[in-house]
Chains A and B, each alone.
Chain A
């Protein structure tokens, strides 16, 4: 298929662009296979350069011969294009519609993008499972790497390499896989060096209505317990939901078969409930009517902050089990690809100082989201504006980022990265020139040959010039466990995401810049001090040499 077939009108002159914080500009609108470009042809700068894949929905309306297209983006921005000529306008609109909803992943921009920068470190190889495992292997010999899923035959949504208890062989893993939803047998997610406790994650056990059991499964998770110790199973569903799951062949671990484990049910919402919450929230944020009396009610009615609270509370509970109770935990919901990953990754943010650094956080995303099989392609296909309700969209990853932001807000000095880093990850999860967030799991990524055909987001982010933008000037390594508050007054709306296009952050950035400036200045001063000190030392040795003969 040629993109040209989809582009009915490649360019229109005298188009007027309206967008937040900028005066309207008139220019030429061009459509390419992957971008919508508006150029005013002044100083040769493009005013707008928008990926089609960032477009969530478009509205069109006409006043006489003047057509208007309102473009609603996945990053929640809304822009307006006034296009003279009804036919042009209709052509542009239908072209955008077609180009922003391409079916085939291989037609997406990452397969066409050629980087203009020199790749210093190939991001596809930055976080190999073997290297990650080495971080643990110095502390424990109870775990091993298993290649049982090499061909993705045991579990299609797992990576080829997983970490499992040393005492469990691959044959047993294959059996356990048949007992867990989607073949997602329990694997190691996090090892707490301080006391050797672990977080494992999996899919739900397939007990069904007749209470099936699996000896190997019981053996596997018991293998992670120290003698005489009990562990916790955190089920991210309410007891009722978990019970209902039995009718569909799913279920939960029965006390009788897992006597060494205590099960705790927490209720984290899924799929369409989260999606509806996002839609309501964004609607409230964009409400331009002057009657703002009901803003707080609307914010509350969206339930977004309630979801944040539920997720953070569960993550805190998991972290408490590990750090305070000294108990290992297994976490799962139904599939183990959404709420499970929110909890395991946030627990690590709380417990593990490394995951609060830039490298460590990237490794966390790579491990707990990409390799763990969070279906990014499905979840991030549409955002808050799309009307066509497919049932797989859900802002699971955005909620995770929001939770990280809440913790960052409460512990501003404990994170090496800043808010912009989180915003950048949100943007790239929904629309990107990089291949990192394409596909639903490692197996799909392998088939797409992303490593060969696209560029990794990390290759770009980890260049010093980019890193500078994402580094927090406040960072001071904090080796402690950080316990976020989930009290209602401690949780805030993430303005950087949701009110980003409603209000300029100019004044708030000033204090931040002050901070960056003084750190730069201090570095300069330190360098000067060092030079002078060296000079002084040289002078002194010369003195010594003159005096000695």
Chain B
């Protein structure tokens, strides 16, 4: 397939510009004063604005809505019908699915010296966690995605549960997403287990196998009398789910479990909330009642609830009092947020660059967060009710944590923003498709490049200079509204008034200081070598000063 490199010769009213689609499938607009660079994957909606008879400045042209918190408007001259070509070419390439075209990641021939697809190897990751052990085993029951088509092929389950047990439990869990291990505490051996809701339904169905299975999970740690179940949903939503066959674990059926609701709202609420955030920040920041407008979006409140939930999960596990089972409805949105954030709080490994990549690969990508549906890669149905900024919300939570613990994370803000940019860009295969089985069918790892290839071959750019590696520190962020902030550098980055904040001057200055240190150390070593050469030189008089500088220790 030939890559499009057509200059679309287009005249913006007033100034002449040349927007073109280049080989990176980006919409690039060049002008002496402005360089606009938009990956086509970011486009959510293209609309024609005005008609042949429209009058007035900027009333005729194209309106482009983007997934990354901005809108673009191209004002055109009516003569020559140049708009039609532009509209068609943009639509074809921004929404390839509707035109039976491949997504750009399959055409991208970029080469990197690191292969990001090698970052995550589930066996290795479980081995790092000390698995399998006496109580937990690795099973290949889902090798061909027969048990659960949205789960990864490799699962960790209680040693005492047979494959037959797993199959029976699967019948009682929404979309067969059975409880499996996400993380085990290295010392107290309590675990975080994830799944979907039980299929209780209106009649309050029970399933002995499921009940027994949960008890087996509880018993993997002998000291524990109760298993804690965190249902991410608000209580009422969980009840309402019974009408569609779902529900939650009742006290009667699960004697040895305690259930808590975490009050996190569903994907539709989150989508509307983010929409409101966009309304108050783009194109202009709501000036007069900024804080109450921000409050009325409820975005920070949702962030607070997600973080609070994750803190509860982390605290339970870290205290060793109980193992934790987390689910929402299907177990691929709120559940992924909770397990991954709790793991980030508990396990310092995930706070390194590669560790975080593994966390995302594991809890989000392999466990079937429906990236394709939530983001709508290459899909023109901008109003699709399945779209929702769940992953963005997770990254926002991570950012909030990194603000509160500036030395705890190996990566910087740019790392998080880059991940979000490529969540939409379609340049890499990393976030394509809804689950592992679909990715395998499409041979994504063979036919596309991984985002981690880009990041890991250029790690310095994404490193937090303040990072001090600490093992075993559990991070509990303060999830109070007073201490949560709107992520201005992400949500308001298209506002020219915010530009001055980037790059972070403190980070820059610190990097300079680090460079200076290395420079000194290098010079010191050179001088020491030169000195010792002089001293060992027989022509040097024996009376010369012989005290050598002790070798500098780099305690950083």
Contacts and interface: CB of A to CB of B under 8 A. Distances in A.
A391 interface: no
A295 B294 CA distance: 11
Interface string A261-297: 0000000000000000000000001000000111111
Contact of B531 (A295, A503, A539): A539
B404 interface: yes
B204 interface: no
A510 B552 contact: no
B407 A300 contact: no
A476 B488 CA distance: 26
B535 interface: yes
B497 A546 contact: no
Given A299-B291, A489-B290, A507 B405 contact: yes
A299 B285 CA distance: 18
A493 B514 CA distance: 31
A521 B531 contact: no
A522 B291 contact: no
A542 interface: yes
A546 B539 CA distance: 8
A536 B523 CA distance: 13
A128 interface: no
A296 B295 contact: yes
A296 B292 contact: yes
A525 B552 contact: yes
Given A518-B513, A521-B517, A528-B524, A413 B506 contact: yes
Interface stretch (B250-258, B354-362, B452-460, B475-483): B475-483
Contacts of A410: 500-501
A532 B529 CA distance: 10
A305 interface: yes
Interface in A484-540: 485, 487-490, 492-493, 495, 499, 502-503, 507-508, 510-511, 514-515, 517-519, 521-522, 525-526, 528-529, 531-533, 535-536, 538-540
A510 B464 CA distance: 14
Contacts of B281: 489
Interface string B463-486: 000101000000000101111011
A511 B406 contact: yes
B509 interface: yes
A543 B498 contact: no
Given A503-B483, A511-B407, A300 B291 contact: yes
Contacts of B304: 292
A536 B529 CA distance: 10
Contact of B545 (A296, A493, A533, A538): A538
B290 A300 contact: yes
A293 B513 contact: no
Interface string B509-523: 110011011001101
Q: Find the residue from B289, B290, B486 having the highest chain A CB count within 10 A.
A: B290
Given A297-B295, A410-B500, A508-B404, A522 B520 contact: yes
B255 to A, nearest CB: 31
Interface size class of B (residues with CB under 8 A): 35 or more
B505 interface: yes
Contacts of B534: 536, 539-540, 543
B383 interface: no
B125 interface: no
Contacts of B287: 487-488
A411 B505 contact: yes
A42 B545 CA distance: 52
A525 B510 contact: no
A239 interface: no
A542 B295 contact: no
B544 interface: yes
B265 to A, nearest CB: 14
A529 B523 contact: yes
Contacts of A542: 540-541, 544
A295 B498 CA distance: 24
A510 B468 contact: yes
Give the secondary structure class of B's interface.
helix
Contact of B482 (A499, A529, A533, A535): A499
A37 interface: no
A503 B406 contact: no
A474 interface: yes
Contact of B524 (A285, A507, A514, A525): A525
B298 to A, nearest CB: 9
B527 to A, nearest CB: 4
Contacts of A411: 505
Contacts of B540: 539, 542-543
A535 B545 contact: yes
A412 interface: yes
B284 to A, nearest CB: 10
A412 B521 CA distance: 27
Contact of A518 (B406, B497, B517): B517
A521 B556 contact: yes
Contact of A300 (B289, B509, B528, B555): B289
Given A297-B292, A508-B406, A489 B482 contact: no
Contacts of A529: 520, 523-524, 527
A533 B481 CA distance: 55
B513 A519 contact: yes
Interface string A422-460: 000000000000000000000000000000000000000
B34 interface: no
Q: Find the residue from B286, B294, B495, B520 having the highest chain A CB count within 10 A.
A: B520
B549 interface: yes
Given A521-B517, A525-B517, A536-B530, A412 B549 contact: no
B500 A518 contact: no
A99 B448 CA distance: 76
B406 A507 contact: yes
Nearest to A476: B509
A487 B535 CA distance: 63
Interface in A291-311: 292-297, 299-300, 305
Interface string B408-438: 1000000000000000000000000000000
Contacts of B521: 525
Contacts of A299: 291
A80 B372 CA distance: 56
Contacts of A305: 291
B338 interface: no
B219 interface: no
B301 interface: yes
A518 B549 contact: no
27 contacts: A295-B482, A297-B291, A300-B289, A300-B290, A487-B495, A487-B497, A488-B285, A488-B287, A489-B285, A489-B486, A495-B483, A507-B404, A508-B404, A510-B466, A510-B468, A511-B466, A514-B407, A518-B510, A518-B514, A522-B517, A528-B552, A532-B531, A536-B534, A539-B531, A539-B534, A543-B540, A546-B541
Instruction: Please provide the 8 A-B residue pairs with the shortest distance between their CB atoms, ordered closest to farther.
Output: A488-B290, A525-B520, A300-B291, A296-B295, A532-B527, A511-B406, A295-B481, A292-B481
Interface of B: 281, 285-287, 289-292, 294-295, 300-301, 304, 404-408, 466, 468, 478, 480-483, 485-486, 488, 492, 495, 497-498, 500-501, 505-506, 509-510, 513-514, 516-517, 520-521, 523-524, 527-528, 530-531, 534-535, 539-541, 544-545, 549, 552, 555-556
Interface of A: 285, 292-297, 299-300, 305, 410-413, 474, 476, 485, 487-490, 492-493, 495, 499, 502-503, 507-508, 510-511, 514-515, 517-519, 521-522, 525-526, 528-529, 531-533, 535-536, 538-540, 542-543, 546
Given A488-B287, A535-B531, 5 more contacts: A411-B505, A489-B488, A502-B482, A510-B407, A529-B520
